[in-house]
Structure 1
């Protein structure tokens, strides 16, 4: 990672979450000096002026055998490296998970983790997070859940303001849900509860809605992306804090994915269009919030996220093959 990225956020009041690339997890797990080098190179020169909130170890790797077995040792080594420099209470260590860690989402009260990783991967990771008072990070994409379902309405996924006609009541708890985002967040919390973790702080490390997709994907549109992100911001940034039905009044720090479209990203057409700025950064796709001028450097491979604590909204600024800085 170019240290200029972190330096560029000095004295801005914006908190950053740095992310170690997936392919560095095995070496980080097996060699504690690698973690010390990360701290010495990317944190020590900057932490006094740049707010570094956390270091994430990989992204959505808990379901990937190649990295899952090394995940906890890598997190432990990073934590010990931070403790060596007395930064372990200021800079937290975590890892973002995809919703694929859940066996079911509906009803949220019945959600449990996938049996193949619940005890072997997630219980040790959640124990680490609980012990170090670090957040449980999860990537929550209502678009993907909606797209994979024949029963979820688009309005429910888009935080429809017509809540009288769009409600889901959990049959086990009688809690009423007016949007899919809250269902998914509470499903994650319920799964953590099932393993005995009731007080872990939860961070939505990625969410968003694509502005364009394939020719048969009518849900992925500029209008729906604007609706989703604006209503999301209103939902998590409301006063008083709404929280979710399961955890009312509890803030949900949330990162919108993504700041930029990724025009060179491989895969389905929809993969290129999650940004609220075009790939060159010169034009707003739509005005969800005001954003400073930005610049992109695709040669680096670390992951960075910017978060405004006062607004409880942040942006996932880049993927693992690009670095963006303000």
Structure 2
């Protein structure tokens, strides 16, 4: 996941995208037995209940069925912004997200027809939250000169703010900052531009089973509830950075690779009436359940970042060109399926998705994988083949599509339908309360 381009990057490490899976099991046999016992009770309660979350109400504008891309610029050998426009359009991508509000970059996309998202650093939030005039000045400087020539559709107020405990004082300021930017857009007659923020997946305290998804206690009432209230009132998306790669790579002994790569054609795990054949859907539904828990079941979700590294260090399991190609190609097919597939809890609901990332960026710090998330090398050539242009003709039953029962424990749910609970990673994952 990309950070805003300058000071924020040096202060707010890419390591925050590192896996947030919490391993609750230990070497203590007593604690292990206790947790297995408690988890077994939890499984029984889950099997006896029929949790259902209503799909989102279709109050949002019709979204173009196209894929987005995260355009980071942390490299000393990257194509110019104008050259980048051509490369993006040649890929068949329709939406672009940058992590800052660099004027020349925004201007380069004028007349491109591409939907455009601009951002701001987490360090900009306090001033914008405190002073409405600061928000007016920000909009006047960073939006008004470029819109509508550049089709700015969203402003992202910060990125993964809640992953950084050192910025906890800023957490309560994100919604006031969003509101001030929103009000300023209204004052400038720019109401077509919406405002949101991108949250990290670790904002969830519980993510398995998906229907039990819940937010961390330190943000549930204080931040997420008012944020979702705003998003609900403006029909705006909650943007989520979600990486099945990290969920799988840190729990590969429990989660099969095909479940993360969309190559599984049968159900891996069930949750009441819902069956999951791919990890991304389970992650998205856990977020949807958490939103419903605090009273906002109808706010839509957009994926602000997802992807797979093509190269990694020796300890970075699964980082390869083959896996990256498989994940991103199947992701595109899954998201752009016709008719729209959605997720088990929200069937038929389109999820706008931004692949991370456009380029391999050589100036990014950290592990080798951090410099190898791109679809393109800096010279503009493909890291691996990916077909985005024709993916819109994909149909259900493709990667990660139809969910079918597999051998395992079969119980009857309260609606009389069999519920298949495979004796596999999902079963042991529930025992250990793994964060996926």
- SS of 2:322's partner is helix
Tell me if structure 2 keeps the 8 A contact 1:62–1:121. no
Give the secondary structure class of the aligned counterpart of 1:103.
Answer: strand
Counterpart-to-counterpart distance in 2, 1:238 and 1:153: 24
Counterpart in 2 of 1:301? none
Moved more, 64-73 or 95-104: 64-73
| Structure 1 counterpart of 2:276, from 167, 174, 177 | 177
Q: Name the TM-score, length of structure 2 as normaliser.
A: 0.63
Deviation by residue 1:5-52 (Cα, 9 ceiling, x = unmatched): 222222222101111111111111112222112211221122222211
Kept after mapping to 2: 8 A contact 1:10/1:50: yes
> CA offsets per residue over residues 115-135 of structure 1, 9 Å max, x none?
111001111111111112211
Counterpart selection for 2:153 from 37, 53, 75: 53
Match of 2:60 in 1: none
1:221 matched to 2:320? yes
Q: 2:143 maps to which residue?
A: 43
Instruction: Select which of 61, 76, 83 maps to 2:186.
Output: 83
Q: Does the aligned pair in 2 maintain the 1:94–1:134 contact within 8 Å? A: yes
Tell me if structure 2 keeps the 8 A contact 1:137–1:202: yes
Structure 1 equivalent of residue 170 of structure 2: 67
- The answer as to 2:262 corresponding to 1:167 is no
Aligned to 1:190: 289
Give the match for residue 260 of structure 2.
157
Q: Check the 8 A contact 1:62/1:122 in 2, yes or no.
A: no
Deviates more, 1:124-133 or 1:232-241: 124-133
> How far apart, CA to CA, are the structure 1 residues paired with 2:229 and 2:118?
22
The count of corresponding residues between Structure 1 and Structure 2 is: 287
Q: What per-residue deviation string (whole Å, max 9, x for no partner) do you get for residues 223-251 of structure 1?
A: 10000000000000011110011000000
Task: Please state whether the residue corresponding to 2:162 is helix, strand or coil.
Answer: coil
Cα distance in 1 between the residues matched to 2:294 and 2:154: 24
Q: State whether residues 123 and 195 of structure 1, in contact with CA within 8 Å, keep that contact through their aligned partners in structure 2.
A: yes
- 2:207 counterpart of 1:142: no
1:94-133 aligned within 5 A: 94-133=196-235
Contact 1:62–1:71, Cα closer than 8 Å, also in 2: no
Aligned residue number for residue 347 of structure 2: 248
Provide structure 1 residue ranges, at least 5 long, that are not aligned to the other structure: 292-309, 312-326
In the aligned structure 2, how far is the partner of 1:290 from the partner of 1:151?
Answer: 31
- Report the structure number with the largest CA radius of gyration: 2
Q: Which moved more, 1:244-253 or 1:260-269?
A: 260-269
Of the two structures, which has the highest relative contact order with CA contacts closer than 8 Å and spacing of 6 or more?
Answer: 2
Contact 2:332–2:388 (Cα < 8 Å) also in 1: no
Task: Give the superposition deviation at 1:290.
Answer: 6.5
SS at match of 2:184: helix
Distance in 1, Cα, partners of 2:278 & 2:353: 16
Check conservation: 1:260, 1:281, Cα contact below 8 A. no
- Tell me the alpha carbon deviations over residues 236-292 of structure 1, each in whole angstroms, 9 at most, x when there is no partner: 0011110011000000100000111122211222222111112x243221122479x
Between the aligned partners of 1:289 and 1:92, the Cα distance in structure 2 is 30
Paired position in structure 2 for 1:18: 118
SS across alignment from 1:199: coil
Q: Is the 8 A contact 2:242 2:306 kept in 1?
A: yes
Question: SS of the residue aligned with 2:205?
Answer: coil
